[in-house]
Amino acid sequence: MTELHTNILKHHIFRDFYEFYPERFSSITNGITQRRWLKLCNPRLAQLITEHIGEGWITDLYELKKLVPLAEDRSFQKEWQKIKRENKEDLAEYVAQYNQNHVDVNSMFDVQVKRIHEYKRQLLNVLHIITLYNRIRAHPDGDFMPRTILFGGKAAPEYRMAKLIIKLISSVADAVNRDPLIGDRLKVVFLANYRVSLAQKIIPAAELSEQISTAGTEASGTGNMKLALNGALTIGTLDGANIEIRDEVGNENIFIFGLTADEILTLKSEGYHPLDYYESNPELKPTLDMIGNGYFSPQQPQLFQPIIDALLRYGDHYCLLADFASYIRCQREVDEIYKRQQEWTKRSILNVANMGRFSSDRTVGEYAEKIWKLKPVPVPDA
Protein backbone atom coordinates (compact mmCIF):
# COMPACT_ATOMS: atom_id res chain seq x y z
CA MET A 1 0.00 0.00 0.00
CA THR A 2 1.30 3.45 -0.90
CA GLU A 3 1.93 6.27 1.56
CA LEU A 4 -1.16 8.14 0.29
CA HIS A 5 -3.50 5.29 1.15
CA THR A 6 -1.81 4.56 4.43
CA ASN A 7 -2.54 8.18 5.36
CA ILE A 8 -6.17 7.77 4.28
CA LEU A 9 -6.44 4.78 6.62
CA LYS A 10 -4.76 6.69 9.45
CA HIS A 11 -6.69 9.92 9.23
CA HIS A 12 -10.07 8.88 7.84
CA ILE A 13 -11.09 5.21 7.67
CA PHE A 14 -9.39 3.90 10.83
CA ARG A 15 -8.66 7.16 12.58
CA ASP A 16 -9.74 5.90 16.03
CA PHE A 17 -7.56 2.80 15.77
CA TYR A 18 -4.59 4.87 14.60
CA GLU A 19 -4.88 7.18 17.61
CA PHE A 20 -4.69 4.16 19.93
CA TYR A 21 -2.13 2.09 18.00
CA PRO A 22 -0.09 4.33 15.67
CA GLU A 23 2.81 1.84 15.64
CA ARG A 24 0.61 -0.75 13.95
CA PHE A 25 0.29 1.29 10.75
CA SER A 26 3.03 1.22 8.13
CA SER A 27 3.37 1.81 4.41
CA ILE A 28 5.17 -0.53 2.00
CA THR A 29 4.65 0.12 -1.70
CA ASN A 30 4.11 -2.85 -4.00
CA GLY A 31 6.73 -3.85 -6.53
CA ILE A 32 7.16 -5.89 -9.69
CA THR A 33 9.84 -8.32 -10.74
CA GLN A 34 12.11 -7.07 -13.50
CA ARG A 35 12.91 -10.68 -14.40
CA ARG A 36 9.39 -11.09 -15.87
CA TRP A 37 8.37 -7.52 -16.63
CA LEU A 38 11.49 -6.50 -18.53
CA LYS A 39 13.94 -9.36 -19.13
CA LEU A 40 11.34 -11.95 -20.17
CA CYS A 41 8.63 -9.84 -21.79
CA ASN A 42 10.86 -7.30 -23.56
CA PRO A 43 14.03 -9.15 -24.61
CA ARG A 44 15.03 -6.52 -27.17
CA LEU A 45 15.09 -3.72 -24.62
CA ALA A 46 16.63 -5.94 -21.96
CA GLN A 47 19.48 -6.79 -24.33
CA LEU A 48 20.07 -3.13 -25.23
CA ILE A 49 20.22 -2.17 -21.55
CA THR A 50 22.61 -5.01 -20.73
CA GLU A 51 24.90 -4.09 -23.63
CA HIS A 52 25.29 -0.56 -22.25
CA ILE A 53 25.28 -0.98 -18.45
CA GLY A 54 25.83 -4.67 -17.81
CA GLU A 55 23.42 -7.21 -16.35
CA GLY A 56 23.52 -6.07 -12.71
CA TRP A 57 20.02 -4.58 -13.09
CA ILE A 58 18.55 -8.09 -13.25
CA THR A 59 19.14 -8.53 -9.52
CA ASP A 60 19.50 -4.87 -8.49
CA LEU A 61 17.06 -2.66 -10.36
CA TYR A 62 18.70 0.51 -9.04
CA GLU A 63 21.49 -0.27 -11.54
CA LEU A 64 19.18 1.22 -14.19
CA LYS A 65 20.33 4.64 -12.92
CA LYS A 66 23.34 4.10 -15.17
CA LEU A 67 21.03 4.82 -18.13
CA VAL A 68 20.59 8.46 -17.12
CA PRO A 69 23.69 9.73 -19.00
CA LEU A 70 22.42 7.96 -22.15
CA ALA A 71 19.02 9.67 -22.16
CA GLU A 72 20.17 12.43 -24.54
CA ASP A 73 22.60 10.30 -26.56
CA ARG A 74 21.18 10.39 -30.11
CA SER A 75 22.56 7.04 -31.19
CA PHE A 76 21.17 5.37 -28.05
CA GLN A 77 17.83 7.10 -28.59
CA LYS A 78 17.66 5.71 -32.12
CA GLU A 79 18.29 2.19 -30.85
CA TRP A 80 15.59 2.75 -28.20
CA GLN A 81 13.11 4.00 -30.81
CA LYS A 82 13.86 1.05 -33.12
CA ILE A 83 13.08 -1.42 -30.34
CA LYS A 84 9.83 0.33 -29.45
CA ARG A 85 8.76 0.25 -33.09
CA GLU A 86 9.57 -3.45 -33.41
CA ASN A 87 7.51 -4.15 -30.28
CA LYS A 88 4.64 -2.10 -31.73
CA GLU A 89 4.86 -4.11 -34.97
CA ASP A 90 4.58 -7.33 -32.98
CA LEU A 91 1.49 -6.06 -31.17
CA ALA A 92 -0.05 -4.74 -34.40
CA GLU A 93 0.36 -8.19 -35.93
CA TYR A 94 -1.38 -9.73 -32.91
CA VAL A 95 -4.24 -7.21 -33.15
CA ALA A 96 -4.68 -7.94 -36.86
CA GLN A 97 -4.76 -11.70 -36.25
CA TYR A 98 -6.94 -11.88 -33.14
CA ASN A 99 -8.99 -8.66 -33.24
CA GLN A 100 -9.27 -8.21 -37.02
CA ASN A 101 -8.18 -4.59 -36.76
CA HIS A 102 -5.45 -2.80 -38.66
CA VAL A 103 -3.53 -0.37 -36.48
CA ASP A 104 -0.90 2.07 -37.67
CA VAL A 105 2.49 1.54 -36.00
CA ASN A 106 3.28 5.20 -36.72
CA SER A 107 0.49 6.24 -34.34
CA MET A 108 0.92 6.69 -30.60
CA PHE A 109 0.07 3.46 -28.75
CA ASP A 110 -2.07 4.69 -25.85
CA VAL A 111 -2.76 1.84 -23.40
CA GLN A 112 -5.14 1.22 -20.50
CA VAL A 113 -4.93 -2.37 -19.31
CA LYS A 114 -6.30 -3.28 -15.88
CA ARG A 115 -9.39 -4.62 -14.13
CA ILE A 116 -12.54 -2.93 -15.40
CA HIS A 117 -13.94 -0.86 -12.55
CA GLU A 118 -15.65 2.50 -12.27
CA TYR A 119 -12.93 3.90 -9.99
CA LYS A 120 -10.24 3.06 -12.54
CA ARG A 121 -12.20 5.29 -14.93
CA GLN A 122 -11.93 3.55 -18.28
CA LEU A 123 -15.05 5.63 -18.88
CA LEU A 124 -13.05 8.87 -18.64
CA ASN A 125 -10.77 7.49 -21.36
CA VAL A 126 -13.86 6.80 -23.50
CA LEU A 127 -15.04 10.38 -23.03
CA HIS A 128 -11.67 11.54 -24.36
CA ILE A 129 -11.98 9.21 -27.35
CA ILE A 130 -15.40 10.60 -28.25
CA THR A 131 -14.04 14.13 -27.85
CA LEU A 132 -11.21 13.35 -30.29
CA TYR A 133 -13.70 11.71 -32.64
CA ASN A 134 -15.88 14.84 -32.64
CA ARG A 135 -12.88 17.11 -33.19
CA ILE A 136 -11.69 15.13 -36.21
CA ARG A 137 -15.17 15.03 -37.72
CA ALA A 138 -15.58 18.78 -37.17
CA HIS A 139 -12.16 19.56 -38.66
CA PRO A 140 -11.31 16.73 -41.09
CA ASP A 141 -8.36 18.67 -42.50
CA GLY A 142 -6.91 19.39 -39.06
CA ASP A 143 -3.46 18.33 -37.88
CA PHE A 144 -4.20 15.55 -35.40
CA MET A 145 -1.65 13.30 -33.74
CA PRO A 146 -2.67 9.76 -34.75
CA ARG A 147 -3.51 7.50 -31.79
CA THR A 148 -4.24 3.85 -31.33
CA ILE A 149 -6.06 3.47 -28.01
CA LEU A 150 -5.90 -0.04 -26.59
CA PHE A 151 -7.95 -1.41 -23.72
CA GLY A 152 -7.63 -4.70 -21.91
CA GLY A 153 -9.19 -6.06 -18.76
CA LYS A 154 -11.97 -8.10 -17.22
CA ALA A 155 -14.92 -7.29 -14.98
CA ALA A 156 -16.25 -9.21 -12.01
CA PRO A 157 -19.10 -11.57 -13.06
CA GLU A 158 -21.91 -9.60 -11.36
CA TYR A 159 -20.55 -6.11 -12.00
CA ARG A 160 -23.18 -4.89 -14.47
CA MET A 161 -21.91 -1.32 -14.80
CA ALA A 162 -18.37 -2.51 -15.59
CA LYS A 163 -19.75 -4.84 -18.26
CA LEU A 164 -21.80 -2.00 -19.70
CA ILE A 165 -18.62 0.12 -19.90
CA ILE A 166 -16.93 -2.72 -21.83
CA LYS A 167 -19.89 -2.72 -24.22
CA LEU A 168 -19.60 1.06 -24.60
CA ILE A 169 -15.89 0.80 -25.40
CA SER A 170 -16.65 -1.82 -28.06
CA SER A 171 -19.50 0.21 -29.53
CA VAL A 172 -17.42 3.40 -29.67
CA ALA A 173 -14.61 1.39 -31.28
CA ASP A 174 -17.01 0.14 -33.97
CA ALA A 175 -18.16 3.68 -34.78
CA VAL A 176 -14.66 5.17 -34.80
CA ASN A 177 -12.94 2.39 -36.71
CA ARG A 178 -15.61 2.21 -39.42
CA ASP A 179 -15.76 5.95 -40.08
CA PRO A 180 -13.87 6.73 -43.33
CA LEU A 181 -13.48 10.35 -42.25
CA ILE A 182 -11.34 9.23 -39.30
CA GLY A 183 -9.00 6.83 -41.10
CA ASP A 184 -5.84 5.94 -39.20
CA ARG A 185 -5.91 9.12 -37.13
CA LEU A 186 -7.84 7.35 -34.37
CA LYS A 187 -8.26 3.64 -33.72
CA VAL A 188 -9.80 1.96 -30.69
CA VAL A 189 -9.29 -1.69 -29.79
CA PHE A 190 -10.61 -3.70 -26.84
CA LEU A 191 -8.28 -6.69 -26.64
CA ALA A 192 -10.12 -9.88 -25.78
CA ASN A 193 -9.20 -12.19 -22.89
CA TYR A 194 -6.69 -9.97 -21.12
CA ARG A 195 -4.17 -12.11 -19.21
CA VAL A 196 -0.51 -12.14 -18.21
CA SER A 197 0.68 -13.61 -21.50
CA LEU A 198 -1.17 -10.88 -23.42
CA ALA A 199 0.11 -8.19 -21.04
CA GLN A 200 3.62 -9.35 -21.94
CA LYS A 201 2.86 -8.41 -25.57
CA ILE A 202 1.08 -5.13 -24.84
CA ILE A 203 3.36 -3.56 -22.24
CA PRO A 204 6.60 -3.54 -24.30
CA ALA A 205 4.70 -1.80 -27.14
CA ALA A 206 2.95 0.82 -25.02
CA GLU A 207 3.98 4.45 -25.31
CA LEU A 208 1.37 6.15 -23.10
CA SER A 209 0.21 4.55 -19.86
CA GLU A 210 -3.28 5.54 -18.68
CA GLN A 211 -3.36 5.59 -14.85
CA ILE A 212 -6.41 7.76 -14.37
CA SER A 213 -8.20 6.50 -11.26
CA THR A 214 -9.98 8.98 -9.03
CA ALA A 215 -7.39 10.27 -6.56
CA GLY A 216 -7.72 8.42 -3.28
CA THR A 217 -9.18 5.18 -4.69
CA GLU A 218 -6.22 3.14 -6.01
CA ALA A 219 -4.46 1.48 -3.07
CA SER A 220 -1.26 0.96 -5.04
CA GLY A 221 -1.42 -0.85 -8.38
CA THR A 222 1.48 -2.31 -10.32
CA GLY A 223 0.42 -1.84 -13.94
CA ASN A 224 1.82 1.68 -13.88
CA MET A 225 5.19 0.26 -12.76
CA LYS A 226 5.27 -2.41 -15.48
CA LEU A 227 4.47 0.10 -18.20
CA ALA A 228 6.98 2.70 -16.99
CA LEU A 229 9.69 0.02 -16.69
CA ASN A 230 9.17 -0.65 -20.40
CA GLY A 231 9.44 3.00 -21.40
CA ALA A 232 5.82 4.16 -21.47
CA LEU A 233 5.14 7.66 -20.18
CA THR A 234 2.38 7.91 -17.59
CA ILE A 235 -0.68 10.13 -17.76
CA GLY A 236 -2.35 9.95 -14.40
CA THR A 237 -3.82 11.45 -11.28
CA LEU A 238 -1.95 11.85 -8.01
CA ASP A 239 -3.18 8.48 -6.79
CA GLY A 240 -1.55 5.27 -5.61
CA ALA A 241 1.94 4.62 -6.89
CA ASN A 242 1.62 7.41 -9.49
CA ILE A 243 2.76 9.78 -6.74
CA GLU A 244 5.87 7.75 -6.05
CA ILE A 245 6.61 7.30 -9.76
CA ARG A 246 6.41 11.08 -10.14
CA ASP A 247 8.78 11.51 -7.20
CA GLU A 248 11.28 9.11 -8.80
CA VAL A 249 11.14 10.18 -12.45
CA GLY A 250 10.51 13.91 -11.92
CA ASN A 251 7.52 16.13 -12.69
CA GLU A 252 8.78 16.80 -16.19
CA ASN A 253 8.71 13.09 -17.14
CA ILE A 254 5.10 12.31 -16.24
CA PHE A 255 1.75 13.87 -17.16
CA ILE A 256 -0.30 14.69 -14.06
CA PHE A 257 -3.87 16.00 -14.14
CA GLY A 258 -6.99 16.20 -12.01
CA LEU A 259 -8.03 16.80 -8.44
CA THR A 260 -5.97 15.48 -5.55
CA ALA A 261 -7.43 13.13 -2.92
CA ASP A 262 -7.89 16.05 -0.51
CA GLU A 263 -9.54 18.17 -3.20
CA ILE A 264 -11.95 15.32 -3.99
CA LEU A 265 -12.94 15.16 -0.32
CA THR A 266 -13.42 18.92 -0.18
CA LEU A 267 -15.46 18.96 -3.38
CA LYS A 268 -17.82 16.29 -2.06
CA SER A 269 -18.13 17.81 1.39
CA GLU A 270 -19.04 21.21 -0.07
CA GLY A 271 -21.49 19.71 -2.55
CA TYR A 272 -20.51 18.25 -5.93
CA HIS A 273 -22.90 19.11 -8.78
CA PRO A 274 -21.89 17.20 -11.93
CA LEU A 275 -24.66 18.85 -13.95
CA ASP A 276 -22.77 22.16 -13.63
CA TYR A 277 -19.83 20.64 -15.50
CA TYR A 278 -22.13 19.08 -18.09
CA GLU A 279 -23.86 22.36 -18.81
CA SER A 280 -20.74 24.52 -18.90
CA ASN A 281 -18.25 22.46 -20.93
CA PRO A 282 -18.88 22.75 -24.69
CA GLU A 283 -17.13 19.46 -25.46
CA LEU A 284 -18.41 17.42 -22.53
CA LYS A 285 -22.12 18.00 -23.15
CA PRO A 286 -22.23 16.71 -26.75
CA THR A 287 -20.03 13.77 -25.77
CA LEU A 288 -22.45 12.64 -23.06
CA ASP A 289 -25.47 13.39 -25.26
CA MET A 290 -24.11 11.09 -27.99
CA ILE A 291 -23.88 8.25 -25.48
CA GLY A 292 -27.27 8.93 -23.94
CA ASN A 293 -29.12 9.47 -27.24
CA GLY A 294 -28.03 6.18 -28.78
CA TYR A 295 -25.42 7.40 -31.28
CA PHE A 296 -23.26 4.39 -30.41
CA SER A 297 -26.21 2.00 -29.97
CA PRO A 298 -28.75 2.87 -32.70
CA GLN A 299 -30.53 -0.49 -32.36
CA GLN A 300 -30.93 0.06 -28.59
CA PRO A 301 -30.97 3.85 -28.04
CA GLN A 302 -31.39 3.53 -24.26
CA LEU A 303 -28.67 0.91 -23.82
CA PHE A 304 -26.16 3.25 -22.20
CA GLN A 305 -28.63 5.38 -20.24
CA PRO A 306 -27.48 3.81 -16.91
CA ILE A 307 -24.02 5.28 -17.53
CA ILE A 308 -25.45 8.75 -18.12
CA ASP A 309 -27.69 8.41 -15.07
CA ALA A 310 -24.72 7.44 -12.89
CA LEU A 311 -22.89 10.57 -14.01
CA LEU A 312 -25.69 13.15 -14.09
CA ARG A 313 -28.47 11.89 -11.80
CA TYR A 314 -26.69 9.86 -9.15
CA GLY A 315 -23.76 12.07 -8.26
CA ASP A 316 -20.85 10.92 -10.47
CA HIS A 317 -19.28 9.15 -7.49
CA TYR A 318 -15.83 8.95 -9.08
CA CYS A 319 -15.78 12.58 -10.25
CA LEU A 320 -15.21 11.98 -13.95
CA LEU A 321 -16.88 15.23 -14.94
CA ALA A 322 -14.88 17.24 -12.42
CA ASP A 323 -11.62 15.92 -13.92
CA PHE A 324 -12.70 15.92 -17.58
CA ALA A 325 -11.38 19.35 -18.60
CA SER A 326 -8.04 18.81 -16.87
CA TYR A 327 -7.68 15.39 -18.51
CA ILE A 328 -8.40 16.79 -21.98
CA ARG A 329 -5.85 19.58 -21.49
CA CYS A 330 -3.25 17.11 -20.32
CA GLN A 331 -3.86 14.89 -23.35
CA ARG A 332 -3.13 17.90 -25.56
CA GLU A 333 0.21 18.26 -23.79
CA VAL A 334 0.86 14.57 -24.47
CA ASP A 335 0.28 15.18 -28.19
CA GLU A 336 2.67 18.11 -28.27
CA ILE A 337 5.47 16.17 -26.59
CA TYR A 338 4.92 13.10 -28.76
CA LYS A 339 5.42 15.22 -31.87
CA ARG A 340 8.93 15.94 -30.54
CA GLN A 341 10.19 12.38 -30.72
CA GLN A 342 13.67 13.20 -29.44
CA GLU A 343 12.19 14.73 -26.29
CA TRP A 344 9.67 11.89 -25.89
CA THR A 345 12.43 9.28 -26.16
CA LYS A 346 14.57 11.09 -23.60
CA ARG A 347 11.67 11.04 -21.16
CA SER A 348 11.04 7.37 -21.92
CA ILE A 349 14.64 6.46 -21.11
CA LEU A 350 14.55 8.49 -17.89
CA ASN A 351 11.39 6.67 -16.80
CA VAL A 352 13.12 3.32 -17.15
CA ALA A 353 16.29 4.62 -15.51
CA ASN A 354 14.38 5.66 -12.39
CA MET A 355 12.34 2.50 -11.81
CA GLY A 356 14.73 0.98 -9.27
CA ARG A 357 12.46 1.64 -6.31
CA PHE A 358 9.65 -0.41 -7.82
CA SER A 359 11.31 -3.81 -7.83
CA SER A 360 9.55 -6.49 -5.80
CA ASP A 361 13.02 -7.26 -4.42
CA ARG A 362 12.83 -3.98 -2.52
CA THR A 363 9.25 -4.69 -1.44
CA VAL A 364 10.11 -8.11 -0.02
CA GLY A 365 13.19 -6.66 1.68
CA GLU A 366 11.08 -4.00 3.41
CA TYR A 367 8.54 -6.58 4.57
CA ALA A 368 11.34 -8.76 5.92
CA GLU A 369 12.88 -5.85 7.82
CA LYS A 370 9.81 -3.91 9.02
CA ILE A 371 7.10 -6.55 9.42
CA TRP A 372 8.69 -9.96 9.79
CA LYS A 373 11.88 -8.74 11.56
CA LEU A 374 14.05 -11.05 9.48
CA LYS A 375 17.70 -10.64 8.56
CA PRO A 376 19.14 -11.66 5.20
CA VAL A 377 21.19 -14.85 5.05
CA PRO A 378 23.96 -15.23 2.46
CA VAL A 379 23.42 -18.04 -0.03
CA PRO A 380 26.51 -20.30 -0.08
CA ASP A 381 28.17 -21.06 -3.37
CA ALA A 382 27.13 -24.39 -4.86
- pLDDT tens-digit series, residues 260-304: 999 999 999 999 999 999 999 999 999 999 999 999 999 999 999
- Write down all domains in the chain, each with its CATH number in brackets: 1-30 (no CATH), 31-371 (3.40.50.2000)
pLDDT(123) > 60: yes
Per residue in 327-343, pLDDT tens? 999 999 999 999 999 99
Query: What does the buried/exposed string (b/e) look like for 46-58 if buried means 16 or more CB atoms within 10 Å of the residue's CB?
Result: bebbeeebeeebe
Q: Model confidence at 20, in pLDDT bands (50, 70, 90)?
A: low
Q: What is the pLDDT of residue 12?
A: 55
pLDDT(358) > 90: yes
Average pLDDT value for residue range 123-137: 98
Q: Can you say how many angstroms the Cα of residue 120 is from the centroid of all Cα atoms in its chain?
A: 9
The pTM of this model reads 0.94
Cα separation of 325 and 128, whole Å?
10
| Residue 304 per-residue DSSP state | T
Q: Model confidence at 220, in pLDDT bands (50, 70, 90)?
A: confident
| Residue 236 per-residue DSSP state | E
Q: What is the pLDDT of residue 4?
A: 58
Average pLDDT value for residue range 214-243: 94
pLDDT(172) > 80: yes
The answer for residues whose C-beta is within 8 angstroms of residue 8's C-beta and 6 or more apart is: 216, 261
Taking Cα atoms as reference points, which of 67, 45, 56 lies closest to residue 354? 67
Average pLDDT across the chain, whole number: 94
Q: What is the pLDDT of residue 3?
A: 60
Q: What is the pLDDT of residue 27?
A: 75
Which amino acid would we find at residue 142? G
Average pLDDT value for residue range 160-181: 98
Average pLDDT value for residue range 182-190: 97
* Residues shown for the chain: 382
Q: How far is CA 97 from CA 90, 103, 175, 247, in A?
A: 11, 11, 20, 40
